[in-house]
Every structure is written in structure tokens, then in C-alpha cells.
Amino acid sequence: MIQGTGSDVGKSLVVAGLARAFVNRGLRVAPFKPQNMSNNAAVTMDGGEIGRAQALQARAARLPASVDMNPVLLKPQGDNGAQIIVRGQIAGQAKARDYQAWKPRLAPMVMDSFARLKAANDLVIVEGAGSAAEINLRAHDIANMGFARAAQTPVVLVGDIDRGGVIAQLVGCKAVIDADDAALITGFIVNKFRGDASLFETGMQFIAERTGWRALGLLPYFDAAGKLPAEDAFSLRDQRASTGGDIKIVAPLLPHIANFDDLDPLKAEPGVRLVFIKPGEALPGDAALVILPGSKATIADLAALRANGWDIDLQAHVRRGGKVFGVCGGYQMLGQWISDPAGIEGACGDAPGLGLLDIETTLTNKKKLTHVAGDAPRYNAPFSGYEMHVGETTGPDCARPMLRLDDGRVDGAQSHDGRIAGAYVHGLFANDALRAALLRDLGAPSSTLHFEQSIDETLDALAAHCAAHLDLDALWEMAR
């Protein structure tokens, strides 16, 4: 089990790199995260949803993603706490304090999923959540040491030297956790190192001496990490605009932004400058395209969009001849009206949309989770992707759908002039031909990017990075 001294220390990438590295050694490997908290999710082949990081780890392990890989997923919904996803399906919602009462009944389901993965694989690499030293949450814990104790799983602790204080992170963790929990930690990794590794040799020795844990490696910063999907939106708040060409594509950073990795293929394009607009900033007047991304709380995010004045900026953008594309929740926002009569995403209620498409949406209890494929007539290109949404959208502009699905359905809508459009399907921009046609429509140069291939190449590079700097043999022996 890979646990961390805190959030964002690199646990997810370490698990992905190790998974691909051990698969390359001929082992059958599966990732597992007992409990995750993220609005960046993926649809599994068995019809559920899990955290995006676990889907990436499954890809690293060359396995189809399954709900067993992340049996409990918490999707934050602001003041209403979090939606609780159990084995891929909505089980309810709860605020943080109330969720503690859920854990005892979730624990057996977590252990069942883990047991199935163990039975089917040579190696299961488990990822913890947040910090191993969250002693205030230790009772009934299913995410870190509580799980490790129940499963009797050896633990490797990851610290982040890039944020500073890594010696105190690791030694301090040993000082505050329960002695029986600490006994499960067999080794440590110092992650995100920059510079001359010899300068930290005494640091590694000091940590090993003070903790009694084995030093498993000093892992240099992996520069290509930005090419892989991120797990949560916190990284976006500090993210600079992508470097690139003259075509500027912008997206407002909404409070409950979800599945924002939809935009990763555009960020990777050399002819594109992708910019996430932070609260308090205006949508720039020179944007070629504004994308409204997915949202976990559409009506609340629509209110935030208006509070930032982005609705006014958007109207000005459209008057200048600019183009707008909405994905899932962003697509719903483009319409005339959004209704949530059952309080699916927050308080019961409804709200006027942006009025850029002649459509209306009603949120429903039934959530659609499925992989889809088809063609996009506007771009004369095939596509594949996935649906993950609640809500039914109707209206005159749906007569001009964006997508034709292989199962006979259509998805999305367009304005009369085609400058305003949206669809429910996620992952559209990862399709090379469709993305190339979109960029041509914006005046960008021809693309040579093969996005999905680039993800696998990056995973191979991450595996080689881990193999070069971590003691894989020692990790394998610990697991055995």
C-alpha cells in the first residue's frame, strides 16, 4: 500500500508508474483505492464510475477499469457535503461529520472488492488517501491505516520534498501514528526531488535511522506528469496557461468543475494556448473558443459564473463572433432553463440558463453511465467517449445534434449558425480526427498529436522513471 504524508505528494503517479513497471516484468497487476474524493471520474466497463486516477492506473496496468478498483468514491457538492458512490453507483449523500457513520457498513464492501482483486492478480498496489497521519479520522478509517490494518498490507510512505520539510513529514508521521499502525510501514520514498541527489544522502539516512523504515528511493521530479490526467481540480488553481500557438481557448474555473481532463488534449496541442480563468478574472476578449466544462453542481456553478461576471463576458464574446462549447453540465448551462426538482445536485430548485441555446434541462434521479461511440456530422469525424450525467435535455436546438451514437441515439445541440454548441459526451477532444477538425474550424494549424498514444508513451516513461530510481525488487519482496 502506497500512503502519503499528505495530499498531492504524488501517490497516484507512483502507483501508476509501479503498476506499469511490474506489468512490464510479466506480472498481472491491479490498482486499488479503498476510498477516493474527486469530481474527476471515469466510467468503467462494468457500468459504474470510479476516480479518474484509478482509471489511469488501470490503464497503466493494462487492465479494463472496474468498480472494484475504487469501491468508495466521494464527489464533493459544496455545502451539501458529498455524493457517495459505492461500487460505481450513487448510494446517497452526506456531510463530512455524518459520513463517519457510513464507514463501518462500507468497510465490508471495501474488503470484498480488495479480495476479488487479490484473487485475480499477482500484485495489487493500493493507494491511500490524503495523509497517513490523520489521527482525527483514524476511528473506522477505511482509506489509510484502518484499511492497511484490516488487510494486513505492508505500507510504503511517500513524502514530497518539493513542498519542503520532507524529513519532518516522514519522521513526524512516525511520531504521531499508533505504534501498531507504524509497524505496518516497511519503507519510504522521497518524491519530486530536483537537483543533485547526493546532497540528500544524509537526509535519507536520517529518516531511515529515526523511523526504522527502509529507504526505497529518491524519486526525481517527473516533468511529463502534466501530460497525464490530474485527479482533482486543486492543481488547476496554480496551473499556468499552456504554452503554444496563437489559438486561445479558455475555460472558467468553476467551483464544482468536474471531469476537467476533457480539456487535456487541447492543452497538449502545440497550436493552442489553453487558459483556465480563475475567479475574479475576466474572460479574455481575444479567445477563439470558450469551453464551459462539466460540473458536479450545475445550478450552483451557474450562479458562480454569474457572480464573476462571466455571463456578461460570454455575451460579449458571442457578439464579437466568438464560439462556445459546453460539455455535460456546461452544455446544460447554455440553455434557457435548468430544473432540479428532487435536489439531485443540491437544494431543490431551478434557475434560468445563459440562453445561448434553445434547450431546457431537468435533472433526474437516474444517472447515465456508459461508454459510447459514433460520429460527429459537423466535423465528419468518428468519436468515442463516455456519458456520465443526470438530466434530460430537450428543445428546438436539439434538432441539430452534435453527435450520432452507434446505438441510434443523438446527443447535443447547436445554434442556427453553429457557433454555440454542446453535448453530454465526455472525452470528445481525445479523438484525434474530431479535435483536428475543431482546431481547423478555429484557424489553428494542422495537428500531428496522437493523444491516446501519447498517454501510453508517458506511462511507459513513468514506469522507466520509477524502475530507475526505486527498489522494485524490495517492493516485490515486501508485497510477497
Task: Give the start-to-end residue ranges of the domains of the chain.
Answer: 2-226+457-479, 246-443
Q: Are 313 and 347 in contact (CB under 8 A)?
A: no
Q: Are 165 and 136 in contact (CB under 8 A)?
A: no
**Sheet with strand 214-220: strands edge to edge:** 2-4, 155-160, 185-193, 214-220
Q: Are 111 and 128 in contact (CB under 8 A)?
A: no
- CATH topology identical between 2-226+457-479 and 246-443: yes
Provide the pLDDT for residue 164.
92
Distance CA 14, CA 17 (A): 5
In CATH terms, 246-443 corresponds, of 1.10.540.10, 3.40.630.40, 3.40.50.880, 1.20.1250.20, to 3.40.50.880
CATH fold of 2-226+457-479 = Rossmann fold (3.40.50)
Provide the pLDDT for residue 235.
58
Please count the other Cβ atoms lying within 10 Å of the Cβ belonging to residue 441: 14
CA-wise closest residue to 187 among 347, 2, 37, 455: 2
Q: Are 7 and 119 in contact (CB under 8 A)?
A: no
Mean pLDDT by 10 residues, the chain (480 residues): 95 98 98 95 94 97 97 84 92 89 96 98 97 93 96 97 95 96 96 95 97 97 90 56 78 94 94 95 96 94 97 97 97 97 85 97 92 95 95 96 96 96 97 95 86 96 98 96
pTM of the model: 0.92
Q: What separation in angstroms does the CA of 119 have from each of 60, 116, 124?
A: 19, 5, 10
Provide the pLDDT for residue 239.
54
Provide the pLDDT for residue 93.
87
Based on its alpha-carbon atoms, the radius of gyration of the chain, rounded to whole angstroms, reads 23
Q: Which amino acid is at 318?
A: V
Buried b (16+ CB within 10 A) or exposed e, 107-136: bebbbebbebbeeebbbbbbbbbbbbbbee
Provide the pLDDT for residue 268.
93
Residues catalogued as catalytic: 328, 426
